[in-house]
């Protein structure tokens, strides 16, 4: 892929290295491409024109038409075929992370094949209806190009679908009117459709109302598995690799392949990889699992587990599909419990954090708050105290719930204050968190605390609702496992954050996943 281009100052122009790379890509354009540009007198229109003129000057297959006084957003441009609207539009100047989206659009409109399966191409072509998508992005957002590129592919393949990428920084009025606080935010026919990273498969499943039924029908005809893994996070992926390497029939069902890692920006504690990003690690996990003969059944949520007379387990999915297997590994992970106060959702990733091991270093030298005075909250405060400038712990109850040893330890730390009997009410900020407001429950006085980060440590919720009543759970709802990963049900094993295993981390989940797969294999050969 292309590295990010930078425009030189003055007249907009691509730097020579980028031009060299781009020249190679543009030779792959087979058919004529027309850039229809909509401009006004603003300087941003001139900058966009500079870029488009430069691009059209680099390939004799690319031409430029300039329109003034139109009803379109300005500056914006469509990437069309001659006399045929492709439905792909960019509002703003797609540089930064979006430059790749622009290059792909040029290539694909120009006849370069779209790299998805024939089955998916057919499915997209058959979607009926009118879908006008708009994606609000920022040029520094690393999750946005996936959404933009997926929606551009849909527009290219189906004349009923159109898509406009909108740079929020240039179209501030729209961002304010629509109260958009995070990117990417996707609108469909004027209404919010989704937020955050979404891939092509997820978007298709959301708009193709027949897809769910078709998938369910197909799944129910699948031959029983030897080992069926529920969950596609690090634990599930690792279990799948270990199972498949034993040469047994292996399946993996996931509501969303990648799990929590998909939402993690920086990972610096995955041993042997100094630093990586969540989506990168997920792509590597998927590639590794796909090296083996594993049926990956993505975007399907497990609803119920039951035992059949033939001693197989049956997994019922929310889509209505049913899968059978001789053994099961549950790796459905967990989600952070949210505080549920105004500002929490808006500032997630902009100062609101849930993982001190992971995100703590990003707050080096800064003042932060930790909400929650249980073991995880006090451990987080002790952990953060060594990195950040100052930590304030806010506990709702009149006393701390953490183990005494932790309480004693936190009291020795000079840069930690503990406030008890306080209720955190709201999180405030601009681009990032600036302060919170809380109430002193004894005096009823409202107070303000200036901070740059707030770690919410009121517990994790294991994703076990769908097996509740069937398998032994701890009082926190985690699946009880033994040292082989076995649960209270013979043939059903569990791994990772969904279980009683202490310390919820990627590397631990992977180890647990492999252990559960070996445990389940042992069960299979003995039965
Ligand atoms: P998960 O990652 O939670 O995966 C669960 C899987 O199960 C997903 O595929 C999900 O879609 C699927 N699933 C759930 N319910 C169902 C259902 N009913 N049917 C089908 N599928 C279902 N750890 C680190 O080591 N380093 C870090 O830097 C780090 N940073 C983090 C940052 C954030 C913001 C978060 C939230 C966590 C972070 N963690 C980090 C913790 C780490 O991500 C988890 O410990 C790890 O992902 C657990 O893996 P898992 O496979 O057990 O579960």
* Catalytic position from the list 355, 383, 417, 522: 355
DSSP state of 298: E
Q: What is the pLDDT of residues 191-225, one digit of tens each?
A: 989 887 788 988 998 998 787 777 888 899 999 99
Instruction: Tell me if 203 sits within 8 A of 123, measured CB to CB.
Output: no
Pocket test for ligand 1, best of 231, 268, 301, 460 (most atoms within 8 A of CB): 231
DSSP state of 278: H
Instruction: Tell me if 158 sits within 8 A of 125, measured CB to CB.
Output: yes
Is residue 278 lining ligand 1, measured as CB closer than 6 Å? no
Check whether 169 has a pLDDT greater than 90.
no
The reply to whether 141 belongs to the active site is no
Q: What is the pLDDT of residues 55-111, one digit of tens each?
A: 999 999 999 999 998 999 999 999 999 989 999 999 999 998 899 999 999 999 999
Q: Quick one: pLDDT at residue 2?
A: 43
Considering the entire predicted model, what is its pTM? 0.74
Is residue 171 lining ligand 1, measured as CB closer than 6 Å? no
Q: Quick one: pLDDT at residue 52?
A: 96
Q: What is the pLDDT of residues 250-286, one digit of tens each?
A: 999 999 999 989 877 678 899 999 999 888 899 999 9
Cα 87 to Cα 155: distance, rounded to the nearest angstrom: 5
Q: What is the pLDDT of residues 293-344, one digit of tens each?
A: 999 999 899 999 999 988 899 999 998 999 999 999 999 999 889 999 999 9
Structural Rg of the chain based on CA atoms: 26
Cis ω on the peptide bond leading into residue 431 (within 30° of 0)? no
The reply to whether 359 belongs to the active site is yes
Which residue's alpha carbon is at the smallest distance from atom 37 of ligand 1?
A: 260
Q: Using N-to-C axis directions, what is the helix angle for 404-411 and 375-385, rounded to 10°?
A: 30
């Amino acid at each position: 892929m292309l590295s990010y281009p930078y425009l030189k100052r003055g007249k907009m122009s691509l730097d020579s290295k980028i031009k060299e790379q781009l020249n190679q890509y543009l030779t792959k354009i087979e058919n004529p491409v027309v850039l229809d540009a909509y401009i006004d007198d603003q300087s941003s229109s001139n900058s966009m024109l500079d870029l488009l003129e430069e691009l059209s000057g680099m390939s004799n297959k690319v031409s430029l038409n300039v329109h003034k006084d139109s009803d379109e957003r300005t500056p914006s441009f469509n990437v069309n075929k001659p006399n045929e609207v492709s439905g792909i539009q960019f509002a703003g100047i797609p540089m930064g992370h979006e430059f790749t989206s622009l290059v792909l659009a040029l290539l694909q409109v120009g006849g370069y094949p779209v790299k998805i399966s024939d089955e998916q191409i057919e499915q997209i072509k058959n979607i009926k209806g009118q879908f006008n998508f708009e994606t609000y992005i920022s040029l520094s957002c690393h999750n946005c190009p996936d959404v933009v590129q997926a929606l551009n592919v849909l527009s290219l393949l189906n004349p009923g679908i159109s898509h406009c990428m909108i740079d929020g920084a240039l179209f501030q009025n729209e961002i304010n009117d629509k109260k958009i606080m995070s990117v990417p935010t996707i609108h469909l026919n004027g209404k919010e459709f989704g937020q955050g990273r979404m891939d092509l498969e997820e978007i298709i499943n959301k708009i193709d109302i027949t897809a769910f039924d078709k998938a369910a029908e197909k799944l129910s005809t699948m031959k029983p598995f030897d080992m069926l893994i529920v969950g596609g996070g690090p634990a599930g992926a690792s279990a799948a690799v270990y199972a498949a390497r034993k040469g047994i029939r292996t399946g993996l069902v996931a509501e969303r392949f990648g799990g929590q890692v998909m939402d993690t920006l920086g990972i610096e504690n995955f041993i042997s990889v100094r630093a990586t990003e969540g989506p990168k690690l997920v792509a590597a996990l998927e590639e590794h699992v796909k090296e083996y003969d594993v049926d990956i059944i993505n975007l399907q949520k497990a609803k119920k587990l039951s035992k059949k007379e033939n001693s197989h387990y049956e997994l019922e999915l929310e889509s209505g599909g049913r899968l059978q297997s001789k053994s099961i590994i549950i790796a459905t992970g967990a989600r952070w419990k949210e505080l549920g106060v105004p500002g929490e959702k808006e500032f997630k990733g902009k100062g609101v954090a849930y993982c001190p091991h992971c995100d703590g270093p990003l707050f080096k030298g800064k003042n932060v708050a930790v909400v929650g005075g249980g073991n995880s909250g006090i451990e987080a405060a002790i952990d953060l105290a060594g990195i950040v400038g100052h930590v304030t712990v806010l506990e709702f109850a009149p006393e701390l719930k953490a183990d005494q040893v932790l309480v004693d330890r936190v009291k020795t730390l000079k840069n930690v204050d503990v406030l008890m009997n306080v209720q955190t009410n709201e999180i405030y900020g601009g681009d990032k968190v600036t302060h919170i407001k809380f109430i002193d429950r004894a005096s009823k006085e409202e107070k303000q605390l200036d901070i740059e980060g707030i770690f919410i440590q009121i517990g994790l919720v294991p994703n076990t609702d769908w097996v509740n009543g069937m398998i032994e759970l701890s009082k926190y709802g985690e699946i009880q496992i033994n040292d082989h990963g076995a649960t209270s049900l013979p043939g059903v094993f569990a791994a990772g954050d969904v279980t009683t295993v202490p310390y919820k981390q990627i590397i631990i989940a992977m180890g647990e996943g492999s252990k559960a797969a070996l445990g389940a294999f042992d069960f299979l050969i003995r039965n």
